[in-house]
A and B are shown apart, each in its own frame.
Chain A
Amino acid sequence: MSFAGTVGPLVPEVIVLAAALLVFLLDVAGARRRELVGAISIAALAGALLVVLADLGFLPLAALRGLPPSVLNAVPAAGSAPLYTFGSLGLVFQGLFLLAALLVATASLSRASDERGAPIYYGLLLLATLGMLLVALASDLIFLLLAIEVTSLATYVLVGYTRRDARALEAAMKFYIVGALSSTLSFFGASLLFGAYGTTNLYALRAVAGSVGYPVLALLGYGILLAGLAFKTTLVPFHAWAVDVYDGAPHEVSAFLAGGTKKIGVFALFLVFLGPVLYVKAGGGSPFSGAPFDLGPTVQLTLAVLAVVTMTVGNVLALLQAEMKRMLAYSSISQAGYMLIGIAIGTSPALAGATLQVAAHVLMKSGAFLVVAAAAAIGVGPKIVDWQGLGTRRPWLAVAFALMLLSLAGVPLTVGFVSKFVLFSAAVQARGFFVWLAVAGLLNSALSVFYYARVLKVIFFEPAPGPLPARAGDVVGAAGPTPLGAGGIGYGRAVAIGVAAVLIVAIGLYPQPILGPIQSAAAHFVAGGA
């Protein structure tokens, strides 16, 4: 294949990589203004997003289309074992990853202008995004795990990049240690699979499992791999790091972790457990009989248990939190449980529901953490009670936050309702014990309304105890940074929050333009174009 033929389909990845390198070079050259590197990053992410949307057929810009139509959803020939392929569902996830990165990059423009390390921050953000984009293309376990590693390494540093904040540094260390353990597990699981089957290609694994079945070595491999990926996806009991890290990290980084990088775990679970496991029909034996058997139902049950436990534990612990970021962290854990429902069911409507849930979560959770950043910028404290009276002080911000919380709770006319509706109706459609998954999901949604409503009550119905503490620049003539635009929030944050809030309502009002492509992408995925 020629050079152009190789690079052509990878236009978004190349754009993001080039921008990351450019930003690091600018740092070395001494051009470290936040506005400059931020603008470069935003332009690169937006450009990559346009290309992905064009590849998906959203835009009539054929010139932007880097992907030859023959490549999209093409199933590789038997025995070719490519490292990466281009499936519609992967492209959908790429679009969502880029959207999350774009929101965070835009909002990060409003970080304090005297803060150092802006090029490092944006460079790492772009590198992490690059890793996420590669995850969405992977068709080989090693490629997949390496891409996850690219993202992980970048985010470990991102969490602690401020260097002076002890809490953030502690969070970074925890994140790194638990993350390293999980990476080790993942690679160990992959090597066991290689030992069992002699390949790490996902298509090959699917084919060989269909004829050979699942030896014990493979079972161990899948179990260990699941534990490794569950770390990334914050499934209970692999979730404990997430709360401390989301809490301690800079707010924008929390938004990126919860809204963005966590979703690569979801897509990795799609890749590892749907094609090579759920969709394999090997034989009718049982694991104890020695004859070839289907691993699918066993994995479905395991994932279902994990989903219900994750939802429930996340919600119950969110009920108790007194701090806004920890509440959002636990809510994020419980949302991962909903996404796992879709994988456990595994039908194309369920995958569409899970993907829409991912999309909703990108908007809701990134948006919510960015609102926390905005609130911190105007002097609101970290505790939920500190948010009293925000509804009258900053009505626009409060309304945007309310939309995000209502969407998280699954109230109609928001994207959160639509995604849960699609997901649960897929569970009902699949019949059997999946109906109970829908019931568990509904009960959990009801439970989650409690803590979201409590926050809304604090914001809108409890009067502020006193004026906000004066912030730097409030006193005329005082030294210090000038106050940010958009009422102290900063234009970058205002734009990012506004875009997220508008999309939450827009998709909630008219979901089909987004849902339709996701459904057809999920159908392609199930049909074998992983």
Chain B
Amino acid sequence: MAVGVLIALGESLSPGTYTDVRFTWLHLPAPPPGHPGAFPNGFSLVMGTLVDPLSALMLVVVTVVGFLVMLYSIEYMRKERGLPRYYAELSLFLAAMNGLVLADNLLEFFLFWELVGLCSYFLIGFHYERPAAASAAKEAFLVTRVGDVMFLLGIFLYFAVYGAKGPGLGWAASGFLFVQGNHAFLAGVPAGNPTLLTVAGIMILGGAAGKSAQFPLDVWLPDAMEGPTTVSALIHAATMVAAGVYLLAVTSVFLGFTAFDSLLIVALGGITTFFAATMAVVQPDIKRVIAYSTISQLGYMVLAVGAGFTMVGLYHLFTHAFFKALLFLAAGAVIHAVGTQDLFRMGGLRKRMPLTAAAFAIGGLALAGIPPFAGFWSKDDLLAGVYSTLGSHPAYWPFFLLAFATVFLTGYYIFRAWFLAFSGEPRDPSLHAGHEGPWEMTVPLVILSALAVVAGLFVYLPGFQALLLHGGGVAGIPPVYGTTQLLLSAVGVSLAGGGILVAWALWGSGRIVPTPSAAPAAGMRRVLLARYGIKSAYDWLGATGVYTVARAADFFDRFVIDGAVHGFERAFGDLSERMRRIQTGLVSDYASYVVGGLLVVAALLLVVAPYLVGRFGGG
């Protein structure tokens, strides 16, 4: 199915084609001559749908994964209460996500961006009666909100920079509208204020970091695992969290980033990739392992977009969506069967759930980047692409190395999870015996497994290749670098394989290895489990910093504002009581009001207004 969709899309979207249906939502005309106005060229708010290579790729991901997750939900959510709410919110999410992908300007994009955030909040808090879920939902909402505000400021800044450039460059060319070739067009006009442009780019990056859980706004995603696993698979692995990367891609295609912003994006991607992976290494919770892995993989995509390989970043987004949804749904099958998320209480599930074990293994191999699984192709291209920029951008070196080292960690943590869950013997007899789910759960696993195997090879389909090569008029897949790329691939695969081997050596028996009592290792473990203290730092910031400010504000509020408000209220309440007494119900009074009003109007028109107009020159 997906292959068919893809080939069709690939064929229809041969280089440079796109479909844009656009309509004016609201238009304010230019002011008449002699009325210098705020918008000298008029002002149009435009809405529309744009299908171009970027959105086509995202559409396939959203609809295919969305369909499979819906199917899977039938069984997974069967026993839950509040199912109408669940399906309504999930459907609203899919609609909003498609709207975001199809948006043809930044403002419309932002509208749907807020809507998917709202749905994410609803669905993380689906079990709102559990305090952990409710607070995770709130945390996700607040942290992404920081990014949202930055995003909006970024939109304003771009408008300030490009909107002031002149008639042809107002609304349309400021990147609010995703006009094909806008990037090149903007490159030809006199540059905007570079400082403002850089700040605008940083703001956009902040928005993307919030949505895609990039450092330091990454804390909400692991906690968002309180939502149902289906939600984690769809929203927090395949689609919504990728919207941040998509935003960066769209911005880089239609507006472009300054050199400083690019470096910042590369740095953010590299750092996030590595540190998220280290935190995944020690997690006892199966869903959190995958959650940290999602953050880490999103870091790869951000890295690629920052280095200028936008379509390669999206290529990794594409393959990642399938194998990460697969990992989540396989984990969901395990959780559904045994009733716990704690890896240390599982074990030996391979015999009872062979299909799930195989699916998880395929997802793991794809994630680790072992050929011929999907992740290998996209990650290989991605790293090769970043490597090719190192010559001209030596500052990218440390982040490239971090990303490269992460390949080893990835292989290790995902197979540590696999060995803990599936190999050896059951460790906790109190868990009820797990077994495979019905077809609604296994069919999505099989389809996603197939995609996790072959999705990387799509790049050899001519249509898809054209999509990646020419998408949006920016750098596509890096050219083949001959021996250099082969060498890079070989090293990468060896690193991943090494990680898997270490995982096998430590956990392959399925027996829990006692944590080494040696101080450095235990200390490291504590640091990692505490997420480098970032969350505690936020808590401290919230508890002391914000609370102190809040106390001061409260004091101000109570003694200054309340005083004023109450005084105002007393005066006002009195006034409105008195005004109410005007309404006597006696018609003779009303007639006298008319006469009184006439005198007032006459006084205004004949004396007061002429005086004021004469004095101040009028409107």
Contact = CB atoms under 8 A, between A and B. Distances in A.
A88 interface: no
B29 interface: yes
Contacts of A97: none
B612 to A, nearest CB: 6
A516 B576 CA distance: 40
Interface in B364-383: none
Contacts of B596: 237
Interface string A297-323: 111111001100000010011011000
Contacts of B604: 301-302, 305-306
Most buried by A among B577, B595, B612, B613: B613
Nearest to A527: B32
A301 B612 contact: yes
Contacts of B26: 418, 421-422, 511-512, 515
A510 B25 contact: yes
Given A316-B572, A429-B31, A298 B605 contact: yes
Interface in B580-610: 580, 582-583, 585, 587, 589-591, 593-598, 600-602, 604-606, 609-610
Contacts of A432: 619
Contact of B594 (A178, A288, A313): A178
Contacts of A348: 29, 32
Contact of B580 (A237, A238, A317): A317
- Place the interface of chain B in its size category: 35 or more
A135 interface: no
Most buried by B among A185, A301, A320, A430: A301
Interface string B20-50: 0001111111011001111100010000000
B614 interface: yes
Contacts of B23: 510, 512
B514 interface: no
Interface string A388-431: 00000000000000000000000000000010011001101111
Interface string A502-518: 00000000111001100
B613 A301 contact: yes
A181 B619 contact: no
B582 A223 contact: no
A319 B580 CA distance: 11
Contacts of B589: 240
Given A237-B593, A317-B580, A512 B25 contact: yes
Most buried by A among B31, B575, B587, B606: B587
A38 interface: no
A54 interface: no
A429 B572 contact: no
A230 interface: yes
A431 B37 CA distance: 7
Interface in B474-527: none
A430 B590 CA distance: 36
B593 A286 contact: no
Contacts of A523: 29
B537 interface: no
Given A297-B618, A297-B619, A421-B26, A317 B576 contact: yes
A512 B32 contact: no
Nearest to B602: A223
B189 interface: no
Contacts of A306: 601, 604
A526 B36 CA distance: 17
A174 B587 contact: yes
A438 to B, nearest CB: 11
Interface string A203-246: 00000000000000001101110110011000001101101100
B579 interface: yes
A422 B601 CA distance: 28
Interface residues of A, number: 62
A446 interface: no
Given A243-B583, A348-B32, A288 B610 contact: yes
A226 B27 contact: no
B27 A227 contact: no
A300 B590 contact: no
A519 B29 contact: yes
A306 B600 CA distance: 10
Contacts of A428: 38
Contacts of B25: 510-512
A313 B605 CA distance: 21
A347 B619 contact: no
A237 B600 contact: yes
Nearest to A301: B609
B591 A178 contact: yes
B601 A226 contact: yes
A429 B591 contact: no
Given A286-B610, A287-B610, A305-B604, A429 B38 contact: yes
A522 to B, nearest CB: 9
Contacts of A429: 28, 31, 35, 37-39
Contacts, number: 155
Contacts of B591: 177-178, 181
Contacts of B38: 425, 428-429, 431
A226 B604 CA distance: 12
Contacts of B583: 240, 243-244, 317
B598 A224 contact: yes
A223 B598 contact: yes
B601 A230 contact: yes
Nearest to B597: A237
A488 to B, nearest CB: 27
Contacts of A337: none
B601 A227 contact: yes
Contacts of B602: 220, 223-224, 227
Contacts of A230: 597, 601
Contact of B32 (A174, A288, A418, A526): A526
A426 B35 CA distance: 11
B593 A298 contact: no
Contact of A349 (B28, B613, B618): B28
A426 B596 CA distance: 32
A288 B590 contact: no
Interface in A252-306: 286-288, 296-302, 305-306
A300 B580 contact: no
Contacts of A426: 28
A437 to B, nearest CB: 10
A159 B65 CA distance: 62
B619 A320 contact: no
B30 to A, nearest CB: 9
Contacts of A421: 26
B24 A512 contact: yes
Contacts of B36: 431
A11 interface: no
A329 B53 CA distance: 55
A229 to B, nearest CB: 11
A224 B600 CA distance: 11
B610 A174 contact: no
Contacts of B579: 313, 316-317
29 contacts: A173-B587, A185-B594, A185-B598, A219-B606, A223-B601, A223-B606, A227-B598, A227-B601, A227-B602, A231-B594, A237-B594, A241-B587, A286-B610, A287-B610, A298-B610, A299-B609, A302-B609, A306-B601, A348-B29, A422-B26, A425-B28, A429-B28, A429-B38, A429-B39, A431-B36, A511-B25, A512-B23, A512-B24, A512-B26
Given A230-B597, A237-B593, A418-B26, 20 more contacts: A174-B587, A178-B594, A219-B606, A240-B583, A241-B590, A287-B606, A288-B610, A288-B614, A298-B618, A313-B579, A347-B32, A349-B29, A422-B28, A426-B28, A429-B37, A430-B31, A430-B619, A510-B25, A512-B27, A519-B27
Interface of B: 23-29, 31-32, 35-39, 43, 572, 575-577, 579-580, 582-583, 585, 587, 589-591, 593-598, 600-602, 604-606, 609-610, 612-614, 618-619
Nearest 4 A/B pairs, CB to CB: A297-B618, A429-B37, A237-B597, A227-B598
